[in-house]
Amino acid sequence: MRQILGTVLLAVLVSVCVAQGKPAADLIITHAKVWTVEQAQPTAEAVAVLGERIVAVGSNADVEAWRGPRTRVIDAGGRLLLPGFNDAHVHFVDGGRQLDAVQLNDASSPEEFKRRIAQRAKITPKGEWMEGGDWDETKWPDSQMPTRQLIDDVTGDTPVFLSRYDGHVALVNSAALKLAGVTAATPDPPGGTMLRDAQGNPTGILKDAAMNPVAKVIPPLTHEQRRKAALRGLAHAASLGVTSFQEMDNGDAAETYADIGVFGELLEENVLTARVYFAPSVVSWDDEAKVGVRRAFGSSYLRLGALKGFADGSLGATTAYFFDPYLDAPGNRGLLSDQMQPPSAMRDRMLKADAAGLQLCTHAIGDQGISIILDFYADIVKQHGRADRRFRIEHAQHMAAKDFDRFAQLGVIASVQPYHAIDDGRWAEKRIGHDRASRTYAFRTFLNHGVRLAFGTDWEVAPLNPMLGLYAAVTRATLDGKNPQGWFPEQKLTVAEAVEAYTIGSAYAEFQDEEKGSLTVGKLADMVLLSDDIFTIDPVKIRDVKVLRTFVGGKAVYTAESLQ
């Protein structure tokens, strides 16, 4: 009976709407320079939104027809309206934590580094660890890695685990080594190195898997700490126009599951202001498989079904895995990650994960690391047949010339972080030489070969601000100011190409290109209004462009103070 009444009511409602013509929009943005990222209609003046979706894109007059008495109308004043940015590779809770941690990245000397750590130690509650930092010794006069002795006397009993900005190296103090039971007698683990002094004592610098014994004794984040970090990160993302992000596991699936719990809670409370896709560790692929989760499972706000794996380390830590040795570390070709010990273990789990319908996102930076993962992907296609899998390689930093074609043929997505190019570009050539550097962050070569790009930041490794990523891709001007015309300028992208990679490219990488990534009728109304037109200003100024308004599903999640 109730159902029949419901149906009758619905029929009455529909007839009312029909009688009045089409329903009115909830939101109209007029007098904008709309860049849609939709090939069929690249530009427009206005957009109308009903509920959480776009119902019209066109001229001011076209969209005016959607105006009703309760429609909110925003006059954009001729400013640029884009689809919201989708960051294809983040470590979001780490990033949220970083917003509140000791800042060491711009410390320009070991003395300044020490001073900031001393200050922080004073306010760190007894028994708590000091973490974060994102230090970068390449910004110091002698570019020497720091040691535990540098910070021991200012940190005392407070255990310290300070990450290098690339996340592949940590500096720990003596208190931390003691808690972890790491001594001169501790051997280097597979996939990791511990720097030692002449007597064999640890210097406090731990690379890749050598960080694990210490990381293991750090108490996990409490639910409350995680929640706070997520909320802080969400506010930051909204202020930067990031309306979607893709969370990449850092090697511990339990961490990612705990994050999923927190984001689920925020969704329930209706305070989730960005859309999230989760990629837990490939090592735990069976967790998702056994409950039947497949690629891109979930709602528009919260999805999972991807897996993150690691092939190798990083260039900064000289652990990215190359065919040929590093120039500044003779005999060293880098390291395969602990997940690749042996490589066949990774291949096996990838085959099983693919059979379960899960998406593979694999961190691979060195040319041989990338090549091995392409071999595995090729094996999957050979054994399981062709399908729409959207394999990803995260970073895809240093390509072997022979692998571009293979990358394209296998339909692998290059999930890249343009900011890393202008950062590592300061010193990469010294480490790997001109020839290999010419295929480093080779965005143009990827496009020429028909490879799809997805842009992201790797936040907290790099800043979350998409303007810096667009600036980096378009100018390739290294952060040290030494390449104003661009580092390997032939790899520069146009603004349109960079925006595409940051919107529809990232959406494609998470199987959501039918749902978002362009301002198209029927898609989710995720939009960002910018202070300046990045298509016409001097590209150097793109990094200073600000976000004025951010909308997710038609809801305003950020409005700049100047407009309030």
**Of 56-64, 202-210, 371-379, 453-461, which part binds Zn ion (CB under 5 A)?**
453-461
Could you say which of 259, 458, 460, 510 contacts Zn ion (CB under 5 A)? 458
CB 307 within 8 A of CB 336: no
**Of 30-38, 296-304, 406-414, 452-460, which part binds Zn ion (CB under 5 A)?**
452-460
Could you give the C-alpha distances from 232 to 161, 255, 265, 466, 558, in angstroms and in order?
22, 18, 15, 17, 13
Q: What is the closest distance, in whole angstroms, from the C-beta atom of residue 461 to Zn ion in the complex?
A: 6
Q: Output 423 or 458, the one with its CB closest to Zn ion.
A: 458
Q: Output 167 or 517, the one with its CB closest to Zn ion.
A: 167
Q: What are the residues whose beta carbons fall under 8 Å from the beta carbon of 528, sequence distance 6 or more?
A: 81, 82, 83, 84, 85, 241, 243, 547, 549, 550, 551
What would the two tokens of residue 309 be? 């794996």
**Of 68-76, 151-159, 216-224, 451-459, which part binds Zn ion (CB under 5 A)?**
451-459
Distance between CA atoms of 238 and 428, rounded to whole angstroms? 33
Could you give the C-alpha distances from 316 to 154, 169, 207, in angstroms and in order?
27, 9, 10
Name the burial class of residue 138, with classes exposed (0-12), middle (13-18) and buried (19+) by CB atoms within 10 angstroms of its CB: middle
Name the burial class of residue 187, with classes exposed (0-12), middle (13-18) and buried (19+) by CB atoms within 10 angstroms of its CB: exposed
CB 104 within 8 A of CB 160: no
CB 464 within 8 A of CB 95: yes
**Cα-to-chain-centroid distance, residue 347:** 24
Q: What is the closest distance, in whole angstroms, from the C-beta atom of residue 477 to Zn ion in the complex?
A: 23
Q: What is the closest distance, in whole angstroms, from the C-beta atom of residue 65 to Zn ion in the complex?
A: 46
Q: What is the closest distance, in whole angstroms, from the C-beta atom of residue 251 to Zn ion in the complex?
A: 10
| x-or-dash string of contact with Zn ion, 34-73, rule CB under 5 A | ----------------------------------------
Q: What is the closest distance, in whole angstroms, from the C-beta atom of residue 447 to Zn ion in the complex?
A: 23
208 is a site residue for Zn ion (CB under 5 A)? no
Q: What is the closest distance, in whole angstroms, from the C-beta atom of residue 315 to Zn ion in the complex?
A: 13
Q: Output 259 or 458, the one with its CB closest to Zn ion.
A: 458
Give me the residue whose beta carbon is nearest to Zn ion: 458
Residue 342, preceding peptide bond in cis (omega within 30° of 0):
yes
Q: Which residue has the tokens 């002094």?
A: 197
The neighbour count for residue 178, using CB atoms within 10 Å, is 14
Q: Output 148 or 398, the one with its CB closest to Zn ion.
A: 398
Q: What is the closest distance, in whole angstroms, from the C-beta atom of residue 257 to Zn ion in the complex?
A: 18
Distance between CA atoms of 340 and 348, rounded to whole angstroms? 11
**Of 288-296, 306-314, 417-425, 455-463, which part binds Zn ion (CB under 5 A)?**
455-463
Distance between CA atoms of 261 and 255, rounded to whole angstroms? 10
- The values of phi and psi at residue 292, to 5°, are 85, 10
Size of the site for Zn ion (CB under 5 A): 1
- Tell me the DSSP string of 18-31: HHT-SPPPSEEEES
Q: Output 110 or 309, the one with its CB closest to Zn ion.
A: 309
Query: What does DSSP assign to residue 504?
Result: I
Q: Output 74 or 230, the one with its CB closest to Zn ion.
A: 230
Q: What is the closest distance, in whole angstroms, from the C-beta atom of residue 225 to Zn ion in the complex?
A: 21
Distance between CA atoms of 132 and 98, rounded to whole angstroms? 6
Distance between CA atoms of 363 and 340, rounded to whole angstroms? 12
Helix residue ranges, H only, 334-402: 343-355, 367-384
In the three-class reduction of DSSP (H, G, I as helix; E, B as strand; rest coil), residue 551 is classed as strand
Q: What are the residues whose beta carbons fall under 8 Å from the beta carbon of 187, sequence distance 6 or more?
A: none
Residue ranges in 220-249 that form contacts with Zn ion under rule CB under 5 A: none
Q: What is the closest distance, in whole angstroms, from the C-beta atom of residue 426 to Zn ion in the complex?
A: 20
Name the burial class of residue 283, with classes exposed (0-12), middle (13-18) and buried (19+) by CB atoms within 10 angstroms of its CB: buried
Q: What is the closest distance, in whole angstroms, from the C-beta atom of residue 163 to Zn ion in the complex?
A: 12
Q: Output 403 or 458, the one with its CB closest to Zn ion.
A: 458
Q: What is the closest distance, in whole angstroms, from the C-beta atom of residue 463 to Zn ion in the complex?
A: 14
Q: Output 305 or 309, the one with its CB closest to Zn ion.
A: 309
Q: What is the closest distance, in whole angstroms, from the C-beta atom of residue 278 to Zn ion in the complex?
A: 14
Q: What is the closest distance, in whole angstroms, from the C-beta atom of residue 409 to Zn ion in the complex?
A: 26
**Of 145-153, 180-188, 312-320, 457-465, which part binds Zn ion (CB under 5 A)?**
457-465
**Of 37-45, 53-61, 351-359, 450-458, which part binds Zn ion (CB under 5 A)?**
450-458
Q: Which residues bind Zn ion (CB under 5 A)?
A: 458
